[in-house]
Amino acid sequence: MEKFPKDFIWGVGSASYQVEGAWNEDGKGENIWDRYCHSPESKVFEHQNADVTIDEYHRFEEDMDWLKELRCNAYRFSISWARILPAGTGAVNPKGIAYYNKLIDGLLARGIQPMVTLYHWDLPVALQDKGGWANREIVDWFAEYARVCFENFGDRVPYWITLNEPTVFTFSGHLLGAVPPCIQSFEQGLYSAHHAMVAHGTVVRLFRKMGLKGKIGFAFDIVPKLPYTDAEEDKKAARLANATTQYFFYEGVTKGQYPKEAIDFYESKGVKLPLQDGDMELVTEKCDFFGLNYYLTQAVRYKKGCGLFDCEYVFRENFPVANAVEWEIDPEGLYDVLKDVQKATNNEVPIIITENGICQDDYCENGEYNDDERLGYIRAHIDMIQKAYSEGVKMAGYVCWCGFDNFEWNNGTNKRFGLIHVDFETQKRTMKKSGKWYREFISKNS
Ligand code: BG6
């Protein structure tokens, strides 16, 4: 198999709400995850919050040393919108700017490329109170915020990601109500999804206009839903489940059209796509890379009246299931997705795996965190990337999710994805077996 090129990105990722803590310090505004976690309606494990989490806001120097220790050449992190613009728009918080400047400069000084996500789900509450992603004005709000980031950090950041996993903050947040802003509305589900894509394209266009020298893309999650059997009704169910989740965005950017099944579904609920002239040109605005978050595949079976889409998820016989989460592990599924993206993009844009990893309840033996399941998972997925790369798929990098154990959204600190263990009481960091393996792997491959 072809060796990975010397400049291949080997990184780990994080998101502001999951790692920073300091939720109300140095002028930061409140965001929708702060508000949700502090409210009685929160569905987070044990009603936890990320007020402190792994305290990266205060411990970033130490954490950057850990990243260096991991031999990563890239660190993917997100900017907290409310730390930069506490009210979402308007006044800029100089202390927020100063924090990210220190982080970016510290990474560069250690030979680690910053890969910055503009939006990883933590919308300022001031904007949510005006309708958030369901309000078309979000396009201008997001562009204003992005401009501030580009002006302040654009001279040094080589990789920008506009949105992380739009499926989660639009459909899960506005249609299913599973995550903030916890709304259940067909209209808001579709509106927020389309506005997110228009906002994404607007910001890519702005980036070009400002003449910045870095690269820009998105981070889409793709969880292929495969029909459980060959029966037509299972195939149709799988198609609808894909069309109304991740493939909505994937086909939007690659085909310039959202899936017909999704549009028909919303029309059957009386909701029309709020399309304006020029929108699809924005949605398909050319990016420099295709950021792909890949974790698993799922099988879908038709079942009348089950959920919103008349289908249920079924476990398949031959797939190992991750111990700590109900995920069927499917590295070949990643290979298939890579081939599919290659085809959909005419192999013109390089793919960066912007997230891949697994939750494992680590156990400690003589001070060592032996997470063999995670190690095996990561190795098997990197093997598939290498296979695809050897067959000509343009690949530019791999970002493992994630560097440090952190606040796992509704799972709180109950689920761990890190290569580095964090004791949430003492904040002590310890490299796990998977981290040691990743370090050695990177050394041999760069
Ligand atoms: C992705 C997110 O969905 O997967 C990350 O971008 C998240 O922020 C990771 O931590 C693992 O998540 P989950 O929610 O599936 O346990």
d(CA 375, CA 65): 22
Q: Whose CA is nearest to atom 7 of ligand 1?
A: 408
CA of 131 to the centre of ligand 1 (A): 25
Task: Tell me which of 414, 417, 419 to substitute to probe ligand 1's pocket, judged by most ligand atoms within 8 Å of the beta carbon.
Answer: 417
Asked if residue 364 has pLDDT above 90, the reply is: no
Please provide the average confidence, as pLDDT, over all residues in the chain: 97
Summarize the confidence of residues 4-22 as an average pLDDT.
97
In this prediction, residue 67 carries a pLDDT of: 98
Asked if residue 324 has pLDDT above 90, the reply is: no
Asked if residue 323 has pLDDT above 90, the reply is: no
In this prediction, residue 23 carries a pLDDT of: 98
Asked if residue 363 has pLDDT above 90, the reply is: no
CA of 278 to the centre of ligand 1 (A): 32
In this prediction, residue 294 carries a pLDDT of: 98
Q: Whose CA is nearest to atom 12 of ligand 1?
A: 408
In this prediction, residue 322 carries a pLDDT of: 86
CA of 68 to the centre of ligand 1 (A): 23
What is the atom index within ligand 1 of the atom nearest the CA of 325? 16
Task: Tell me which of 401, 407, 411, 422 to substitute to probe ligand 1's pocket, judged by most ligand atoms within 8 Å of the beta carbon.
Answer: 401
What is the atom index within ligand 1 of the atom nearest the CA of 165? 6
What is the atom index within ligand 1 of the atom nearest the CA of 417? 11
Confidence of residue 350 (pLDDT cuts 50, 70, 90): very high
The answer to whether residue 2 is catalytic is: no
In this prediction, residue 6 carries a pLDDT of: 94
Confidence of residue 367 (pLDDT cuts 50, 70, 90): confident
In this prediction, residue 24 carries a pLDDT of: 98
CA of 419 to the centre of ligand 1 (A): 15
Q: Which of 30, 56, 285, 355 is catalytic?
A: 355
Asked if residue 362 has pLDDT above 90, the reply is: no
What residues are in contact with ligand 1 under a 6 Å CB criterion? 15, 18, 164-165, 221, 293, 355, 401, 408-409, 411, 415, 417
Residues counted in the chain: 446
Q: Are 75 and 19 in contact (CB under 8 A)?
A: no
Which residue would you say has higher pLDDT here, 73 or 318? Answer: 73
Summarize the confidence of residues 308-335 as an average pLDDT.
93
CA of 209 to the centre of ligand 1 (A): 32
In this prediction, residue 376 carries a pLDDT of: 97
Give the pLDDT confidence of 252-264 residue by residue, as tens digits: 999 999 999 999 9
Give the pLDDT confidence of 375-401 residue by residue, as tens digits: 999 999 999 999 999 999 999 999 999
In this prediction, residue 318 carries a pLDDT of: 87
- Rg, C-alpha atoms of the chain: 21
What is the atom index within ligand 1 of the atom nearest the CA of 164? 6
In this prediction, residue 435 carries a pLDDT of: 98
Summarize the confidence of residues 274-292 as an average pLDDT.
98
CA of 50 to the centre of ligand 1 (A): 15
Q: Which of 20, 30, 56, 165 is catalytic?
A: 165
CA of 408 to the centre of ligand 1 (A): 7
Summarize the confidence of residues 95-103 as an average pLDDT.
98
What is the atom index within ligand 1 of the atom nearest the CA of 168? 3
Asked if residue 366 has pLDDT above 90, the reply is: no
Confidence of residue 446 (pLDDT cuts 50, 70, 90): confident
Confidence of residue 150 (pLDDT cuts 50, 70, 90): very high
Asked if residue 180 has pLDDT above 90, the reply is: yes
Confidence of residue 2 (pLDDT cuts 50, 70, 90): confident
Summarize the confidence of residues 226-242 as an average pLDDT.
97
The answer to whether residue 232 is catalytic is: no
Summarize the confidence of residues 227-242 as an average pLDDT.
97
Asked if residue 130 has pLDDT above 90, the reply is: yes
Q: Are 120 and 164 in contact (CB under 8 A)?
A: yes
- Percentage with pLDDT > 70 across the chain: 100
Q: Are 438 and 400 in contact (CB under 8 A)?
A: yes
Q: Whose CA is nearest to atom 16 of ligand 1?
A: 408
What is the atom index within ligand 1 of the atom nearest the CA of 415? 16
